[in-house]
């Protein structure tokens, strides 16, 4: 009987420890979001979102150029990565069992494990040093490399969800492989493909090291792709590590904008994935 009581007590202790661990984890993570919201909300406003950074000590100023720079570089990255990666995913989906596909999947996974800092240094050495300047173009290319494995692997998974019975039906009606892919497989998986791209965009938008090493930053509006370009993560990094109180406050404001954008992308992606799963 005491043995049974001991087991019950041990079980309760264990459950309490797990609840404690979960509470610590959730409280700490909630604290981060809480601080970003509390310190950022007073800073964010129309002027903050639309104006250039002000010099130290001058009131006002904002993150307009960093916002545009981030949008542009992430967009550029997606523009490069999406077609290539979806084509690669179509190849993996069409030749699922071939040795080459296994090798491509392996390389893609290796790519996904490369620290983003190394990707930044790679583009820095190949583009920035060769052309002699930091640029939005180099930033976009670095971000496309960050996005590539995420888009490819999620796209392959989404394409595989299109049932083979439908593909066989299409082929049986005389459609070629190409027609089957373009008229059946890609449209059928479109929702899932978009979700994968959204997650990749959210990931790229938050990258600091690759953008810092390739686009650096700028205090002016973007004029060409060949110039150093500001971005939200780099601005947060610079302002946070600066000794000026108003810049530090702006770092929190920029963090609120960035975190909101990334979380909205993630929530939308997850919800639409959940909805489409339920429909299926």
Q: Does 25 bind other proteins (CB under 8 A)?
A: yes
Q: Answer yes or no: are the C-beta atoms of 234 and 171 closer than 8 Å.
A: no
**In this complex, which beta carbon is closest to other proteins, that of residue 136 or of residue 199?**
199
CB of 212 to other proteins, least distance (A): 7
Number of CB atoms found within 10 A of residue 225's CB: 16
Do residues 258 and 232 lie in contact, with contact meaning Cβ atoms separated by under 8 Å?
A: yes
C-beta of residue 97 within 8 angstroms of C-beta of residue 85: no
Angle between helical axes of 245-279 and 64-94 (0-180°, round to 10):
30
Give how far the C-alpha of residue 243 lies from the chain's centroid of Cα atoms, to the nearest Å.
29
Q: How far is the CB of 153 from other proteins (least distance, A)?
A: 5
The encoded tokens of residue 71 equal 């949008």
Q: Which of 1, 28, 58, 59 binds other proteins (CB under 8 A)?
A: 28
Which member of 237, 247, 250, 253 binds other proteins (CB under 8 A)? Answer: 237
| Euclidean distance between CA atoms 212 and 163, whole angstroms | 43
Q: Is 41 in the site for other proteins (CB under 8 A)?
A: no
Q: Is 92 helix (H, G, I), strand (E, B) or coil?
A: helix
State which residue, 14 or 221, has the beta carbon closest to other proteins: 14
Instruction: Tell me the window of 52-60, 166-174, 183-191, 266-274 that interacts with other proteins (CB under 8 A).
Output: 266-274
Find the largest Cα–Cα distance for the chain.
80
Q: Does 263 bind other proteins (CB under 8 A)?
A: yes
Instruction: Tell me the closest approach of the beta carbon of residue 223 to other proteins, in angstroms.
Output: 22
Answer for the pair 47, 62: CB distance below 8 angstroms, yes or no.
yes
Stretch that binds other proteins, among 43-51, 52-60, 66-74, 177-185 (CB under 8 A): 177-185
Among 66, 76, 181, 215, binds other proteins (CB under 8 A): 181
Per DSSP, 220 falls in state: S
- Smallest gap from residue 206 Cβ to other proteins (A): 3
Q: Check residue 150 for interaction with other proteins (CB under 8 A).
A: yes
State the minimum distance, in angstroms, from the CB of residue 141 to other proteins: 11
Instruction: Name the strand (E) or helix (H) holding 208.
Output: none
Least gap, CB of 131 to other proteins (angstroms):
16
Taking CB under 8 A as the rule, does residue 32 contact other proteins? yes
Q: Which of residues 56-115 bind other proteins (CB under 8 A)?
A: 83-85, 87-88, 90-92, 94, 100-101, 103-104, 107-115
Q: How far apart are CA 192 and CA 276, in angstroms?
A: 8
Q: Retrieve residue 237's tokens.
A: 């990094």
């Amino acid at each position: 009987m005491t043995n049974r009581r001991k087991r019950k007590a041990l079980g309760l202790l264990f459950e309490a420890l797990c609840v404690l661990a979960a509470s610590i984890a959730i409280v700490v993570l909630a604290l981060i979001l809480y601080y970003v919201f509390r310190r950022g909300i007073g800073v964010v406003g129309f002027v903050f979102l639309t104006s250039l950074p002000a010099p130290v000590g001058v009131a006002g100023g904002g993150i307009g150029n960093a916002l545009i720079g981030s949008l542009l570089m992430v967009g550029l990255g997606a523009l490069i990565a999406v077609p290539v990666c979806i084509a690669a995913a179509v190849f993996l989906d069409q030749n699922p069992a071939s040795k080459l596909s296994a090798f491509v999947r392996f390389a893609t996974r290796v790519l996904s494990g490369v620290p983003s800092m190394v990707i930044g240094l790679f583009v820095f050495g190949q583009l920035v040093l060769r052309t002699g300047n930091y640029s939005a173009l180099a930033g976009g290319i670095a971000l496309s490399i960050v996005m590539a494995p995420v888009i490819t692997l999620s796209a392959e998974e989404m394409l595989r969800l299109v049932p083979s019975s439908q593909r066989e039906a299409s082929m049986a009606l005389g459609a070629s492989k190409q027609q089957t892919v373009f008229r059946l497989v890609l449209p059928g998986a479109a929702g899932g493909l978009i979700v994968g791209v959204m997650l990749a965009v959210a990931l790229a938008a938050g990258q600091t090291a690759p953008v810092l090493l390739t686009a650096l930053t700028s205090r002016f509006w973007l004029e060409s792709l060949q110039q150093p370009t500001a971005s939200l993560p780099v601005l947060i990094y610079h302002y946070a590590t600066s000794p000026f109180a108003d810049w530090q406050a702006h770092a929190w404001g920029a963090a609120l904008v960035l975190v909101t954008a990334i979380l909205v992308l993630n929530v939308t992606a997850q919800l639409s994935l959940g909805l489409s799963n339920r429909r299926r």
